[in-house]
Amino acid sequence: MDPLISIRNLHKSFGAKHVLKGIDLDVYPGQVIGYIGPNGAGKTTTVKIICGLISDFKGEIHIKGKDIRKDILSIKQLIGYIPETNDLYDVLTPSEFLTFIGALYKIPADLLTARIERIFGALGMSGHLDQRMDSFSKGMKQKVLIASGLLHNPEIIILDEPLSGLDANSVLVVKDLIHRLAKDGKTIFYCSHMMDVVEKVSDKIVLINDGVVVANGTLSDLRMQLGDKSLEQMFASLTTGHISSNAAISIMDALHLDSSPRHD
């Protein structure tokens, strides 16, 4: 089977800062990829390149056999992007925002309205469709972004920290949704820090650190290589140097320096 997303020797620099240092990755149809790594590892940069937000990179990316440099428009039609909560014009109402996004994907008006209402109803947000989003909580904004990424029924869904700010019930809905989307043949690219969720939803885990892939495989593959550890422990062992492994001990030492408070 040909990979749906194929990334070869991907490099990207911002000025003198070399963020991606040769990423190689294949993603197959229907897979759920957990794309994890510490802050600044290059996760968001990779995602932005795949979504067409960054166009000046080195290397090759093919999506459904199409070169991202030559055929970006038809590739964009395949992808649904769900960014972080703050990336939203919150003076609009969800209805205005989603109608606008839908128009950019040229979704027929009737279908668009029906989809917005259905998705919003399922997310428990029907009553908020015509209210300005600047008074929304983080979780409510995240639900609007989830709806915006699914509106055009894309083949590939890229989620960047999709659970941030969601309450427990909504987390369950999203996790269930990820399973159902995967069952429906969608390919999911899931970026997150929440190891327990990544561990549960992903078929394959890709760990990047400092711009290179340091681990790539199913959870059981990784356990074979690194021993019977939790994903959290694997993450810690592969990304040392980011924070000292003895960080907790150092903090305790700092607390024991002098415990008497200052008196004036």
Partner 1 sequence: MLWLVMKPERLYRHFGVDVFHLRTILLIKLAMDDRTATGINKVRSSGGKGETKLATAFTMVMAFIMGLTFLFMFFLDDDLSRLTLYLASFGFMLAMFLVTDFSHILLDTKDNYIILPKPVSAETFLTARLLHILIHISKILVPLAFPGFVAMWVSRGILGAFLFIPILILLTVFTFAIVNALYLFIFRLFSLRKIDSIITSIQIGFTALLYGSFQVLPHLLDRTVMESISLSDVWYVWILPSYWFACAWKMLYSFQFDLPLVIGAFLAVLLPVASFWVMVRYLAPSFLSKLSMMTATNRSEDSGKRKIIRAGSSGGVMGLFGRVWTRNNIERQFFFFVGRMVVRNRDFRLKVYPMIGYMLVLVGFMVFKNWDEINFHAADIQTSGLTMPFLWAMYLSGFMCITALYQLPYTEQYNAAWVYFTPPIERPGILLRASLKACIVRFFFPFVVVVSTLGLFAFGVKILPNLLFGFGAVLLGVILYAWMLLDKLPFSFPLKKANEDNFSIRNMFIILFTVIFAVPQYFLFEYDWVLLGISVLLIAGALYALHIMRGVGWNDVKWG
Cα–Cα distance for residue pair 157/178, rounded to 1 Å: 9
Cα–Cα distance for residue pair 90/212, rounded to 1 Å: 35
Site size for partner 1 (CB under 8 A):
45
- 45 exposure class (CB count in 10 Å sphere: 0-12, 13-18, 19+): buried
User: Minimum distance between the CB of residue 125 and partner 1, rounded to whole angstroms?
Assistant: 11
Cβ 152 vs Cβ 112: under 8 Å? no
Q: Does 109 bind partner 1 (CB under 8 A)?
A: yes
User: Minimum distance between the CB of residue 87 and partner 1, rounded to whole angstroms?
Assistant: 4
Cα–Cα distance for residue pair 123/170, rounded to 1 Å: 7
Please state the φ and ψ torsions of residue 3, each to the nearest 5 degrees.
Answer: -65, 145
User: Minimum distance between the CB of residue 54 and partner 1, rounded to whole angstroms?
Assistant: 9
Map residues 87-106 to x or -, x wherever contact with partner 1 holds by CB under 8 A: xxxxxxx-xx--xxx-xxxx
Map residues 234-263 to x or -, x wherever contact with partner 1 holds by CB under 8 A: ----------------------------x-
Cβ 197 vs Cβ 163: under 8 Å? yes
| Residues numbered 11-50 forming contacts with partner 1, rule: CB under 8 A | none
Region binding partner 1 by CB under 8 A among candidate stretches 18-26, 123-131, 183-191, 227-235: 123-131
User: Minimum distance between the CB of residue 17 and partner 1, rounded to whole angstroms?
Assistant: 17
Work out which of 134, 221, 232, 253 binds partner 1, going by CB under 8 A: 134
User: Minimum distance between the CB of residue 57 and partner 1, rounded to whole angstroms?
Assistant: 14
Region binding partner 1 by CB under 8 A among candidate stretches 122-130, 182-190, 192-200, 217-225: 122-130
The alpha carbon torsion through 247, 252, 257, 261 (nearest 10 deg) reads: 120
Cα–Cα distance for residue pair 157/233, rounded to 1 Å: 28
Q: Does 83 bind partner 1 (CB under 8 A)?
A: yes
Cβ 76 vs Cβ 155: under 8 Å? no
Q: Does 5 bind partner 1 (CB under 8 A)?
A: no
Which of 189, 228, 226 shows the shortest CA–CA distance to 33?
Answer: 189
Work out which of 19, 129, 150, 171 binds partner 1, going by CB under 8 A: 129
Which amino acid, residue 189?
Answer: F
Which of 160, 226, 222 shows the shortest CA–CA distance to 193?
Answer: 160
Q: Does 79 bind partner 1 (CB under 8 A)?
A: yes
Q: Does 156 bind partner 1 (CB under 8 A)?
A: no
Coil, helix or strand at residue 212: strand
Q: Kindly list the residues in this chain that would bind partner 1 in the complex (CB under 8 A).
A: 51-53, 55, 72-74, 76-77, 79, 81, 83, 86-93, 95-96, 99-101, 103-106, 109, 113, 127-132, 134-137, 140, 148, 262, 264
